Amino acid sequence: MSNPLSSVVPAAPAAIPRRAIVLLALLTLVWGTNWGLFPIAVREVSVWTFRAVAVLGAGLVLLAVARARGQSLVIPRRHWATVAVATSLYLVLWNIASTYAALMIPSGQAAVLGFTMPLWAALFGWLTGQQRLGPRLLLALALGALAVGLLMWRSLGVYAQAPLGVALGLTAAIGWALGTMILKRGGLAVPALVLTGWQLLITAIPTGIGALWLGDGHWFMPSWATIAVISYITLVPMAIGNAAWFAVVGLLPTTVAGLSAILVPVVAMIAGAVMHGEPLGPVQWAAMACCAVAMRLALTPAPAPVTG
């Protein structure tokens, strides 16, 4: 079986598989529109209850699909420590921190903070020697940082009023970067559907405890609108989106995969403007242009070296 999460991280991909492009387009759409739904999902239930239901449902769906496709649901015992640590940093930390951030500051701005992930991944990868940053990737990272800076600059007043929201958004991004790097380095020979399904079920344990301890405190039936939104988030962004992400990680280096998803906050900004009247002007459009160029640079194969 080929390894979907190879530990070898090249400076830049020799060629971008077409499958990765399709998966990235899917991710951009489903994750970008997801952020504006968070405030709706938690109008009647707590963050912990919402996330516990979503990760449990998504995990069960993915494992059922994997089983129906004839894939083994077994993860070798030697990999469980790696999976547990990576899941705690990415899915547990990300799901709780990002949702609270989206409630404390505008959802589009929370998405921008969360998707500083490729910048952290590049920094940690360089510090640990896992990632060599060539000129093309450095320029892509610089443009990504510029885009984040532009989007943050217009919201400094909001951030000053809700510093905890900013801290949670950045914490989510750092957890995502570290968790993905740990999985990448672990060399897990496990299908993406199976790996994602088990990680979501692992995430359901602490979030379920949090829902019982810090959640709503009593049983009640939310409105059908809330149920519909949570069901959509469970099946599409959580199940399909996370499966697509881990498949992309298996196809691309961590930094390139992160940069390729940098258009997600662009979609989140547009969705936030449409759904909640959040700001969308020249600065936001300039940031979107930077994101588009950064993604093009990240996904363009590096030229082959000239040999004599």
Q: Tell me whether residue 4 is in a domain.
A: no
Q: Tell me whether residue 34 is in a domain.
A: yes
Domain total of the chain? 1
Q: Using an 8 Å Cβ cutoff, are 197 and 234 in contact? A: no
For CA atoms 184, 256, 302, 250, give the dihedral sign: positive
At residue 156, the pLDDT reads 65
At residue 260, the pLDDT reads 60
d(CA 109, CA 116): 11
Which domain, by its residues, includes 110?
18-299
At residue 151, the pLDDT reads 67
Q: Tell me whether residue 251 is in a domain.
A: yes
pLDDT, tens digit (0-9, with 9 covering 90-100), for 208-246: 988 888 776 667 788 999 999 999 999 998 888 888 887
At residue 199, the pLDDT reads 92
**Which 3-state string (H, E, C) describes 12-42?**
CCCCCCHHHHHHHHHHHHHHHHHHHHHHHHC
- The residues near 213 (Cβ < 8 Å, ≥ 6 apart) are none
At residue 117, the pLDDT reads 80
At residue 150, the pLDDT reads 76
DSSP state letters, 185-210: HHT----HHHHHHHHHHHHHHHHHHH
Q: Using an 8 Å Cβ cutoff, are 251 and 121 in contact? A: no
Q: Tell me whether residue 2 is in a domain.
A: no
Q: Tell me whether residue 307 is in a domain.
A: no
**What is this structure's pTM?**
0.72
Q: Using an 8 Å Cβ cutoff, are 102 and 35 in contact? A: yes
Q: Using an 8 Å Cβ cutoff, are 83 and 75 in contact? A: yes
Q: Tell me whether residue 35 is in a domain.
A: yes
At residue 91, the pLDDT reads 85
Q: Tell me whether residue 304 is in a domain.
A: no
pLDDT along the chain (308 residues), means of 10: 37 62 82 82 88 93 93 90 90 85 76 77 76 76 78 64 80 88 80 90 91 76 91 91 80 67 73 73 77 70 49
Distances (CA, A) of 283 to 48, 152, 219, 231: 34, 10, 45, 34
At residue 159, the pLDDT reads 61
Q: Tell me whether residue 293 is in a domain.
A: yes
Distances (CA, A) of 59 to 55, 56, 74, 103, 210: 6, 5, 14, 25, 18
| End-to-end CA gap in the chain | 37
